[in-house]
Amino acid sequence: MRLLLISDTHIPKRARSLPDQVLAAVDAADVVVHAGDWVDAATLDLLEQRSKRLVGVYGNNDGPELRRRLPEVAHVSLGGLRFSVVHETGPATGREARCDRDFPDTDVLVFGHSHIPWDTVTPRGMRLLNPGSPTDRRRQPVGTYLTVELTDGRLGDVTLVPVPRA
């Protein structure tokens, strides 16, 4: 199973639209996971139409319509693994212990907010993944997203994909 993990698209405030590279990744994925800060409902509509399956949550910059349509936290089983998706996990310091406490029944936690890619394993063994942002690189050299391969109930390749500036 191929997953595409994205977050913090901030359309139309930080970009006019999703880059073609990201749309091609959406088309290739079995599941698209968006960890919030969509900003506009049109991006949600687009991903709902193009994705084979979409799992999304709202972020701190998402208004009433997105909050009506999306949960704050999503829990799904994908390929035999328990995934949770949330926008914000708090400061980097102490994140692993905090996430172990707050998500005890999760194998993989996908989050956003910082626009900074993150890939660690907690003391309990939960994988924490932040794809960064494909459209608002902030302090990063380029925008990013993650692709993930699930095989036989395990995470396979987790790849940070750069999105060069247009």
- The answer to whether the predicted template modeling score (pTM) of the entire model surpasses 0.75 is yes
Cα distance between residue 121 and residue 127, in whole Å: 4
Structural domains of the chain, with CATH: 2-163 (3.60.21.10)
Report yes or no: 29 and 6 within 8 Å, Cβ to Cβ. no
Question: 117-135, pLDDT tens digit by residue?
Answer: 999 999 999 999 999 999 9
CA distances (Å), 125 to each of 77, 96, 100, 104, 115, in order?
Answer: 17, 10, 9, 11, 23
Question: 11-35, pLDDT tens digit by residue?
Answer: 988 888 999 999 999 999 999 999 9
pLDDT in tens, the chain (166 residues): 999 999 999 998 888 899 999 999 999 999 999 999 999 999 999 999 999 999 999 999 999 999 999 999 999 999 999 999 999 999 999 999 999 999 999 999 999 999 999 999 999 999 999 999 999 988 889 999 999 999 999 999 999 999 987 5
Eight-state DSSP code of residue 36: S
Find all residues with CB under 8 Å of 133, minimum gap 6, and list them: 6, 7, 8, 9, 10, 14, 112, 115, 143, 144
